[in-house]
Structure 1
Amino acid sequence: MVIMRVLKVKDAMSNNFIVLDEKTIIQDAIKVMMEKNKYAIIVTSDGKPKGIVTERDFTVKVLSRNMDPGKGVLGDIMSSPLITTKPDETLENAAKLMANKKIRKLPVMDDGNIVGIITEDDIIRISPDLISLAFQTVTDWKAEIIRWLTSGSDSSEDPANLIWDVKVQDNLVVAEHPKIPFILHILFANRIIRLDVYTGLETALLDPIQRLDISRKLLFLNDRTALVKFTIRGINEEIVLSSDLDLASINREEFSDALTGLITALYMMIKEFKLEEEFNKQLAQRVMLMVKERIEKGATKDDIISFLVTKVGLDENSARKLLDEIIKGKPSDEHLTAYL
């Protein structure tokens, strides 16, 4: 009879971390992290473990918020309070804890000291059958993000807290809101959530000089954005903005940062390409299409006026005038832009 040994945290943990005080300058911490080739920092206060900073925090919390790494300290960006496990805890329980807390690195504490760290990759490497516990399923995350997008308020200044119109197609979620200057495509694939914005700017038929100029501008823009990348995709070589989020560490704050980053990047591109007038026309036409869609679904006039006031942000008088023009016939681009 073969007795299977129960795997514990101490069987998979590593010492791939460093310990620094919460008052350590971020720039200095990055330097130490790179020199020692570690992927996590245990942050202490008066010598006691207080929080954790990972490589991803430097991208999400420092670059996306335009923090000065020469002035900010680890205490500004650490995740706290510190969630820990013990060396003799089972790997299964550690995996469940990581999934419940939506974290991907778990410090190991023994007698008040951090003695190791364990990651989802460590767990999967030692015990592949626990992968379903280490990550929430795509279905779980899709439901969670749809809840984020549909349970807010249209008066919110945070794009993630608006009430979006959402359509679901398998592992693709398409969301739009008239206050947001694009239609958002959210693709769930394995351990990554990809947020895409298709700009409608196609480059395939442009002459080589124009395409080279666009490529140079996109390279310039990519150097100025942290969470968002400009890519060229498809047979028509359309410019697409993308932001990838890791399922193992995503939270509502990071999702909101990514949305804000997409909005900022889009406006940067519009300014760089001098497309302000064309962009305003497209935005106005998209609002008109959303109104027409509601009319076709049987919405009342009062319902549509409410939509234009609460969602779009028009005053009631402008909303009534715009609706009247849409009902009578397609208003001119100039009229649409003037209203919006």
Structure 2
Amino acid sequence: MNSPVSDLLAKKSVSLLTVNPDTSVLEAVEIMNRVKVGCVMVMQDKALAGIFTERDVLRRVVAQGVDASRVAVSEVMSSQLVTIEPSTEVGHAMDIVNENKVRHLPVLEDGRLIGLISAGDLNRHLTETFRKEAGTLMSYLSGSGLEV
């Protein structure tokens, strides 16, 4: 739980997916489906402008009857972002996800986007950590002569 999210970023296999603000919603969704991810980062030049997620598709495209081929992601993306730094501890990142009801946390270093941590990434990390700790405790108890 005390690990920084930079440790999680180092283990990720999927590279950061980005689109331009003028990318159509349809094109962004096709990218997300092809790579099997839940969002793409929207970059204006080299600056983070927003995030376009599956939730945006449901709430701002499908529910509004918007033509996905004619609307740019900039019109329906989330632009009020909750971000973290690479030094943010995993436990704190989980608190941020829960408090803000978000699934994705862009990771910024000196204002520059360097990665993305998802709720799934955080859950996988915690599961690994708890399994290791349980294994260590079981080994300790087995070695001490206590019956487990």
Q: TM-score range by the shorter chain?
A: 0.7 to 0.9
Match of 1:12 in 2: 8
With the length of structure 1 as denominator, give the TM-score of the two structures: 0.34
Query: Offset of 1:66 from its aligned partner?
Result: 0.2
Flag the structure with more relative contact order, 1 or 2, with Cα contacts below 8 A and sequence separation at least 6. 2
User: Equivalent residue of 2:113, what SS?
Assistant: strand
Shift of 1:16: 5.3
Q: Aligned-pair distance for 1:77?
A: 1.3
The 8 Å contact of residues 84 and 93 in structure 2, kept in 1 or not, is answered as yes
1:39–1:16 CA distance, 2 compared to 1 (3 A) = farther
SS in 1 for 2:30: helix
Q: Does the aligned pair in 2 maintain the 1:50–1:81 contact within 8 Å?
A: no
Aligned to 1:107: 106
Question: What's the counterpart of residue 121 of structure 1?
Answer: 120
Deviation of residue 36 (structure 1)? 3.2
Verify the 8 A CA contact 2:103 2:119 in the aligned structure 1: yes
SS at match of 1:12: helix
| Partner AA of 2:118 in structure 1 | T
Moved over 6 A (4+): none
For residues 269-284 of structure 1, what are the structure 2 equivalents within 5 Å?
Answer: none
Distance 1:89 1:71 in 2: 38
TM-score, normalised relative to structure 2: 0.74
Indicate the SS of the match to 2:41.
strand
Deviations 1:194-227 (A, max 9, x none): xxxxxxxxxxxxxxxxxxxxxxxxxxxxxxxxxx
Tell me which structure has the larger Cα radius of gyration: 1
- Distance in 2 (alpha carbons) for counterparts of 1:47 and 1:23: 15
Q: Which runs of 5+ in 2 are unaligned?
A: 128-148
Name 2:65's counterpart in structure 1. 66
Once the two structures are TM-superposed, the CA of residue 85 in structure 1 deviates from its matched residue by: 0.7
Deviation, structure 1 residue 74: 0.5
The residue that corresponds to 1:193 in the other structure is none
For the 8 Å contact 2:2–2:91, the answer to whether it is kept is no
> Quick one: which amino acid aligns to residue 70 of structure 1?
S
* Residue 72 (structure 1) shift: 0.7
Paired AA for residue 41 in structure 1: V
The residue type paired with residue 86 of structure 2 is P
Matched, 1:29 2:28: yes
One-letter amino acid of the structure 2 residue matched with residue 100 of structure 1: E
**Alignment-derived partner of residue 323 in structure 1:** none
Tell me the percent identity.
Answer: 27
How far, CA to CA, are the matches of 1:115 and 1:46 in structure 2? Answer: 15
Alignment of 1:169-184 (within 5 A): none
Do the aligned partners of 1:16 and 1:40 also contact (CA within 8 Å) in 2? no
Please, which runs of 5 or more residues in structure 1 have no aligned partner? Answer: 129-340
- CA deviation profile, 1:17-68 (whole Å, cap 9, x unmatched): 4111111111111222233333211112233101111123222221111000
Whether 1:77 aligns to 2:76 is: yes
Seen in structure 2, the aligned counterparts of structure 1 residues 35 and 107 have a Cα distance that, compared at 3 Å, is same
Report the number of matched residues: 126
Alpha-carbon separation, structure 2, partners of 1:59 and 1:17? 22
- 1:215-234 pair list within 5 angstroms: none
Counterpart AA for 1:103: V
Amino acid at match of 2:69: G
2:137 aligns with none
Report the AA paired with residue 10 of structure 1: S
Q: Does 1:57 align with 2:56?
A: yes
Contact 2:47-2:113 within 8 A present in 1 as well: no
SS of structure 1 residue aligned to 2:93: helix
